[in-house]
Amino acid sequence: MPFTTKATIASFGGKLLKLSHPSSTTSTEMAVNVYLPPAALTSSSPTKVPVLVYLSGLTCSPENCSEKGFFQHGASRRGIAIVYPDTSPRGLNLPGEKDAWDFGEAASFYIDATQEPFASNYKMETYITKELPSALFSDPEIGKYLDADKVSITGHSMGGHGALTLYLKNPGLYKSVSAFAPISNPAKCPWGEKAFKGYLGEDKEVWKKHDASELIKGWKGKDVKMLVDVGTGDNFYKQGQLLPENLEAAAKEAGVEGFQLRYQEGYDHSYYFMASFSDEHVDHAAKHLGV
């Protein structure tokens, strides 16, 4: 189905498109923002550019990072499009969907739920990895600017978890991955335990299939092309919600290459943190996207 353009906003020499489209995966209207850099727009004919998918964190929408993350700055410089999907289906009014900020609407954890009442609509893994890219790349107005063969992924917090796990579960789908303050071992932190129980049920062996610290073990000896930044002033890090140390230990045990975990002194969990290092994450993607 075609995209509806809600707004077109000039940004760092390019254009930020605020879009929506009907999703057959979630059975809802889904919002998505797409940034097209100057490199895609300034030639006499449309130019296909690489794509970086950004997955947002708990409570967020496509608006937050596109307004405050400053990814467009680096993307404009490197000639990369940014895709900002939403964090869940919206408007379903399912039982329990809006009872808490860390579960349900805007808190999908980017998995395909198997438990009711979420199983029919909360299929965000399928939406992010299949339906949305297919829709964007085949769209006659948007797809002419996007290179479907050059895609990387990044994200923040819950979206960092999403980026890491979707990358590790789908070898070859993305050229690289990075994350800001990701929920790195959700099967062993309160946020993840709550979400996995609600979406996937009680079987903790099933949980492992959606946990970056477990999935990276399957990449033994391989190049993971992974950059992770965590702020030492992040209260969620201090509370044990993020557990990057567990991801690092698993990466070392698996003997993977290309894994980089950086602790940024004094930075918190906010967009101030992300805006400070977004250029470096765009550069990380650009390196592996060949631009």
* Active centre residues (catalytic): 157, 234, 269
Cβ count within 10 A of residue 224: 20
Nearest to 126 by CA among 103, 101, 108: 108
CB 115 within 8 A of CB 128: no
- H/E element holding 73? helix 71-78
Using DSSP bridges, classify how beta strands 81-85 and 29-36 pair: parallel, antiparallel or unpaired: antiparallel
| Chain centroid to CA 195 | 17
Cβ count within 10 A of residue 62: 23
Per DSSP (E only), the strands in 97-176 are 146-155
SS3 206: helix
Counting Cβ atoms within 10 Å, is residue 99 exposed (0-12), middle (13-18) or buried (19+)? exposed
Dist CA 71 CA 276 (whole Å): 10
CB 16 within 8 A of CB 8: yes
